[in-house]
């Protein structure tokens, strides 16, 4: 399930990319860090081990890693994009009130994807942008006001 840094580095080599310190550290941060890091958060993590790594290096590496299919990015709302390993791709539900992020059950999008495909010929890729709404707690709070 969870990839090791070495496996991801191997993917880099297979893709014809070079393996640098910064790149390895970005991958390490993705494997070991919190669940939905932004580029900024990854930069901070990388800098704890290599303080001179530049922000643009992290951005360019994430771009390259995405091109190789190693990572994907998701927009959870108005702010910065978040990154995770492609092997962990999944849909997101984000609460507009409290900002909580839920991972969507795999089959939640199925009916909608089927409908869009059948009726419009449109192939849904619902992982790139989160679907917003109001989480159970915030909905309950709102009802008690």
Partner DNA sequence: TATCAAAACGCGACCAGCACGCAACAGCGT
Partner DNA sequence: ACGCTGTTGCGTGCTGGTCGCGTTTTGATA
Query: Using CB under 7 A, which residues numbered 43 to 72 contact DNA?
Result: 50, 52-57, 59-61, 63-64
| 11 lines the binding site for DNA (CB under 7 A) | no
Question: Sign of the CA dihedral 53, 54, 60, 63?
Answer: positive
Q: Which two structure tokens, joined as six digits, stand for 122?
A: 């449109």
41 closest CA partner among 31, 30, 50: 30
Query: Using CB under 8 A, which residues numbered 81 to 140 contact a copy of itself?
Result: 93, 95-96, 102, 104-105, 108-109, 111-112, 115-116, 119-126, 128-136, 139
- CA distance to 44, 56, 85, 87, 96, per residue, from 1 (Å): 26, 30, 11, 8, 31
54 binds, among DNA, a copy of itself, none (CB under 5 to 8 A by kind): DNA
Minimum gap (Å) between residue 47 Cβ and DNA = 9
Minimum gap (Å) between residue 119 Cβ and a copy of itself = 7
Query: Using CB under 8 A, which residues numbered 2 to 61 contact a copy of itself?
Result: none
Kindly tell me the burial class for residue 107, based on how many C-beta atoms sit within 10 Å of its own C-beta (0-12, 13-18, 19 or more): exposed
Rounded to whole angstroms, the Cα distance separating 48 from 141 reads 40
Q: Which two structure tokens, joined as six digits, stand for 111?
A: 């009916």
Interface with a copy of itself by CB under 8 A: which residues?
A: 75, 78, 93, 95-96, 102, 104-105, 108-109, 111-112, 115-116, 119-126, 128-136, 139
Which residues contact DNA by CB under 7 A? 13, 17-23, 38-40, 50, 52-57, 59-61, 63-64, 79-81
């Amino acid at each position: 399930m969870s990839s090791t840094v070495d496996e991801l580095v191997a993917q880099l080599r297979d893709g014809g990319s070079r393996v640098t310190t910064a790149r390895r550290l970005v991958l390490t941060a993705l494997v070991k860090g919190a669940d939905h890091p932004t580029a900024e958060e990854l930069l901070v993590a990388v800098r704890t081990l290599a303080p001179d790594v530049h922000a643009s290096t992290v951005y360019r590496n994430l771009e390259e890693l995405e091109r190789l299919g190693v990572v994907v990015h998701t927009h959870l709302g108005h702010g910065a994009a978040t990154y995770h390993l492609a092997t962990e791709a999944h849909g997101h539900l984000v609460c507009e009130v409290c900002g909580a992020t839920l991972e969507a059950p795999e089959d939640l999008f199925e009916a909608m994807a089927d409908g869009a495909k059948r009726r419009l010929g449109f192939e849904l890729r619902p992982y790139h942008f989160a679907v917003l709404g109001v989480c159970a707690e915030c909905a309950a709070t709102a009802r008690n006001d």
